[in-house]
Structure 1
Amino acid sequence: MGKRAGEDAGPTRRALLLAAGSAALLPLATPALATSPAASSAAAPAPGAAVPEPAEPPLIHEDYAIARRSFHTKLLRKGPAPDKGDPLTPPPGAEAIGYRSGGLSLTAWVSPGHDDAKSRRPGILVLHGGNALWHGHWDLTTAYHKAGYIALMPALRAENGQDGAFSGFYDELSDVLAAAERLRGLPGVDPDRIYLAGHSIGGTLTLMAAQASPMFRAAASFSPNPDGRSFFRRFPEDIRFDTSDPREYDMRSPICFAESFKCPVLILHGSSETRTDSVIRLTAARAKAKGLDVRRGVIDGGHTSALDGEIPASLGFFKGLA
């Protein structure tokens, strides 16, 4: 799966991307990757006030899907995603396919057999880490292909030179849901068996999608950060929204809407990823207190090396529910 870097080694995310190039399973953005003060101060915008840090992320009882209908993020700076990514020509074993999100025409990669209506198979939407799509990300789908799933991996707005403005989790979620609908409508996919998995930033978007829509049979999130305040404190260069509005953080924080999960969810992270352990535990505890099937676990390894155990665990989770 390519060379992997440890979470506490100290390089910035940008340096890791430049060093790794298009190698498989890049060590992409996560609160477990250290960001140097020099890199943060050079790249960070200053929209609104400083990141608020309450003692504990608030628990909001409003359903997340309903909350999204009335909330619109206020972007103070509009532009492309922070990471460059690879050209959107598909890697070996994938085909390019278009999908629409609002007024945007976007690109995804999909596994072969998606157009075979004679043998409908379960579909899985796989969300990449970082803020761009790299060819190596497609390796995340390999085990799902072998298990009989049709996999679709979308590039989101403002990524890889696509149209749209980067918002940091929020408007990108609309693209995730649109890509899921595209997967659901493919001739070779059983629309009643749509699953979801994601790593790092894709892991956080996985949690948000499972809260925003009932279309998924189950979801597996690898190395997410459910607390937006914690994430953006660590990566202030990714902030584009008005930080003076606490709701901007709430709407990017699955931990705040832990009572809104609409399918069974498995949250996993590596044993060396200690910074996010407490917020993952609290997210699962809040969901369980509401009677929801949200499970958490720790897999031996780091931010990317743990994927060797996390992906098989997700397949076992999905199979157990089926």
Structure 2
Amino acid sequence: MAAGHGTLDPAHFTPGQYIHYPTTDGLEVPAILYTPQGLSPQGRHPALICAHGGPTAQFFRAFDAEVQYLASLGYTVLCPNVRGSTGYGVAWRDANLKDWGGRDLADIAAGAQYLRGLPHVDPARIGLFGVSYGGYLSYLAPVKYPDLFKVSVPIVGITDLHQLHADNSRDMPQLGYYFRTMMGDPVEDAELWRDRSAVTHAHALKAHLFMMHGANDPRCPVNQARGFRDALLATGKQEGQDFEYIEFADQGHGTADIEGKTRSYRLLADYLRRRL
């Protein structure tokens, strides 16, 4: 039975293409690539990587309103199922255990290199965005790989692993336990946690950043965004010039409300139009 699309014509949707691209250690990353229809053959065009949450989630070739919206605006969008994703076996799912911001992040960087090699993509206009764990990668990628991305948009993301664990352990103990199963012990693995926290490397940021966070987020509290904003200010960067920042007083860890989603989509599109 055909899906109902209301007044929308499915012929206007951008089809997703299953691909694999090489990553740093010789493996290949499964991904879905959305190339806008009707791109002008003259010149090159901007592209985006969308990092999923989880980390144990995955992109399917299914209708994604945000990706379709961005593709309709002319952005090529790559949705990679990096290490830590489900759907590709236990070894792939567990490949980022005690390695958040390691090989999974290298897979994101390899995705940017893949986009740079596409004939219709402008290699100087590649951006990154993601929600939750995708937001974590969207904070960390531009400070660990500062020359790859022109812009990055972390949404309800993580910047400080020690702070996140302390807050989760106090307010949502099950998440504190989950986090320890993923990244080890906050004391024994303290150096790893510091290295894999974007706030540690805020001084390395070259890309322009747009941070969005819900003020009522219990999973990734808003101090994650505020802390990174303060770290950027401490390096001499200026809000409005070097980065943009917004808090949603009426949101938590994202929103299922259509008005909230529409607001976020429009803010993202406006930012990309101006900065990418």
Fold conserved between structures, TM > 0.5: yes
SS at match of 1:198: strand
Q: Alpha-carbon deviation of 1:261?
A: 1.3
Give the counterpart of 1:297 among 235, 239, 246: 246
2: CA distance between counterparts of 1:231 and 1:137? 32
1: CA distance between counterparts of 2:182 and 2:70? 34
Q: 1:145 maps to which residue?
A: 71
- Aligned partners of 1:114 and 1:189 also within 8 Å: no
Q: Alpha-carbon deviation of 1:122?
A: 0.6
Q: 1:276 maps to which residue?
A: 221
Distance 1:137 1:203, change over 3 A: farther
2: CA distance between counterparts of 1:215 and 1:134? 23
Distance 1:199 1:224, change over 3 A: same
Deviates more, 1:223-232 or 1:97-106: 223-232
Question: Which structure's residues are more often helix, by fraction?
Answer: 2
- Aligned partners of 2:142 and 2:149 also within 8 Å: yes
- Aligned partners of 1:228 and 1:253 also within 8 Å: yes
1: CA distance between counterparts of 2:200 and 2:67? 29
Q: 1:130 maps to which residue?
A: 54
1: CA distance between counterparts of 2:37 and 2:112? 13
Give the partner amino acid of 2:246: G
Give the counterpart of 1:104 among 15, 19, 27: 27
1: CA distance between counterparts of 2:261 and 2:221? 16
Q: Alpha-carbon deviation of 1:202?
A: 0.3
Deviates more, 1:202-211 or 1:287-296: 287-296
2: CA distance between counterparts of 1:187 and 1:194? 13
Give the partner amino acid of 2:68: T
Q: What's the TM-score, normalizing by structure 1?
A: 0.65
Give the counterpart of 1:161 among 88, 91, 113: 88
1:180-259 paired onto structure 2 within 5 Å = 180-213=112-145, 214-232=147-165, 234=168, 235=175, 236-238=177-179, 239-243=181-185, 244-259=188-203
1:86-101 paired onto structure 2 within 5 Å = 93-101=15-23
- Aligned partners of 1:170 and 1:251 also within 8 Å: no
Q: Alpha-carbon deviation of 1:175?
A: 0.7
Q: Alpha-carbon deviation of 1:171?
A: 2.1
Unaligned runs of 5+ in 2: 1-12, 169-174
2: CA distance between counterparts of 1:307 and 1:226? 23
Q: Alpha-carbon deviation of 1:125?
A: 0.7
Distance 1:121 1:295, change over 3 A: same
Distance 1:125 1:276, change over 3 A: same
Give the partner amino acid of 1:94: G
Tell me the matched-pair count: 232
Q: Alpha-carbon deviation of 1:309?
A: 2.3
Q: What's the TM-score, normalizing by structure 2?
A: 0.75
Q: 2:264 maps to which residue?
A: 310
Provide the aligned C-alpha RMSD in A. Answer: 2.6
Q: 1:11 maps to which residue?
A: none
Q: Alpha-carbon deviation of 1:116?
A: 7.1
Give the partner amino acid of 2:81: A
Unaligned runs of 5+ in 1: 1-90
Q: Alpha-carbon deviation of 1:232?
A: 4.4
SS at match of 1:190: strand
Q: What fraction of aligned residue pairs are identical, expressed as a percent? A: 23
